Structure 1
């Protein structure tokens, strides 16, 4: 609605508005409402489920109200890549079915992938891309839109400061931003939000299988892990850019954005 009332050059303001409203509603307004009925610390699994479900509703509502960005679920004609990714997801899930953390990992992985991909790839990346390629479809514009959306994805993880130290949260922020590059590149290449959702699910599912529910830990991060982070960022960045740059004519998302 608001998207249709403002001039093209001012539409960038909709992205920070969208993020601020979503963060305020989910992390401040709803937090007070939850505490009226239960203690989130004592019922963390219930809390995280409510948090993600409400987040999905808020994202859809704000997208309708502010941005009206279409989210693309339908795969392209060449579905073999998506099918292969989904098969890998099923194999990973099947191999972990006997784990004591299986149902927790399935729960966390599914809800996190759905809510975060809807927001950061489905809405923010697509809308940023649409603004960037409005006048030119050059590769650098696509890459810049990918970087912007990934940095925003990483920055939002500072909301986890209540559960961990600043150094650990900063590590997570940078790692999430780098991994977000891959997720965004997969959406650009495939043209369907299902692909980054599946990849995001496998990633979160795997870590939840190992660690179970997140626990508060305020221990500062050792210096050795920062070296690992540099390697992660470099590897993720190379993979993401390779996906986008390789055969750019096969980036399925861009033609879909130009049609709307």
Structure 2
């Protein structure tokens, strides 16, 4: 598939994805079910199915995903599971919502932004003469798109809080992309994404506060970027991460 055609197909995936999200959000708001766990779960199941169809018909990317793990990887995931269970038991009232929000957020967003979009961008940039641009440009573009997606939250929260969230999720997307590039397995950024969403929802619930701490926001963004770069650096000599010519 030629680059221009692939770029157009990727644009169509993003366009139809945003269109679907806007349609569902307005339907749920019209029904008064915007914050209903059941409707959110059904929405994201349908959304994931739409993404699979869009990838199969348009971008046609093979997503690197495997549950075959090394002993150390299995032990790490087991340890994370124990920690999350303890956190969930401490905050029992938010346990179910934390699990569902973590599950639907991590699976759909990682499949779209790291699976479809990032892998497609690597295909588009794989012939770039600059080594760093082959990795950093796709990484940054996918992370920015991931952050901008969260402007959809304007339906349920203030502009200031949404802008702060967009900045945070851009940095978070950078971290997830670095994990994906390093491991070549969508499972790991999905697990990391699930853990973050689970912990946040377990402690603070589904309702967003309108209070904003710029100091904590900056700390979180810097932390995501530092950890992301630390994970990414060993892969910067890889001529074609995730894809083959």
TM-score by length of 2: 0.88
Q: Does the C-alpha gap of structure 1 residues 139 and 117 become closer, same or farther in structure 2, counting only changes over 3 Å? A: same
> CA-atom RMSD, angstroms?
2.5
List runs of 5+ in structure 1 lacking aligned partners: none
**Corresponding position: 1:237 with 2:225:** yes
Task: Report the counterpart of residue 101 of structure 2 in structure 1.
Answer: 108
Moved over 6 A (4+): none
Q: Is the 8 A contact 1:143 1:241 kept in 2?
A: no
Task: Report the counterpart of residue 111 of structure 2 in structure 1.
Answer: 118
- What CA distance in whole angstroms lies between the structure 2 residues aligned with 1:228 and 1:17? 36
Q: CA deviation at 1:201?
A: 0.3
SS in structure 2 of the partner of residue 246 of structure 1: helix
Q: Is the 8 A contact 1:154 1:173 kept in 2?
A: yes
Q: CA deviation at 1:80?
A: 4.8
Task: Report the counterpart of residue 32 of structure 2 in structure 1.
Answer: 39
- What CA distance in whole angstroms lies between the structure 2 residues aligned with 1:162 and 1:185? 30
Task: Report the counterpart of residue 152 of structure 1 in structure 2.
Answer: 145
Count of residue correspondences? 243
| Range with greater deviation from structure 2 (139-148 or 238-247) | 238-247
Task: Report the counterpart of residue 174 of structure 1 in structure 2.
Answer: 167
Q: Does the C-alpha gap of structure 1 residues 213 and 229 become closer, same or farther in structure 2, counting only changes over 3 Å? A: closer
Q: CA deviation at 1:230?
A: 2.4
**Corresponding position: 1:25 with 2:20:** yes
- What CA distance in whole angstroms lies between the structure 2 residues aligned with 1:237 and 1:96? 25
Q: CA deviation at 1:200?
A: 0.3
Q: CA deviation at 1:56?
A: 0.5
List runs of 5+ in structure 2 lacking aligned partners: none
Q: CA deviation at 1:34?
A: 5.1
Task: Report the counterpart of residue 134 of structure 1 in structure 2.
Answer: 127
**Corresponding position: 1:163 with 2:156:** yes
Q: Does the C-alpha gap of structure 1 residues 81 and 239 become closer, same or farther in structure 2, counting only changes over 3 Å? A: farther
Q: Is the 8 A contact 1:129 1:142 kept in 2?
A: yes
Task: Report the counterpart of residue 64 of structure 1 in structure 2.
Answer: 56
Task: Report the counterpart of residue 257 of structure 1 in structure 2.
Answer: 243
TM-score by length of 1: 0.83
Q: CA deviation at 1:68?
A: 0.5
Q: Is the 8 A contact 2:147 2:167 kept in 1?
A: yes
Q: Does the C-alpha gap of structure 1 residues 34 and 229 become closer, same or farther in structure 2, counting only changes over 3 Å? A: closer
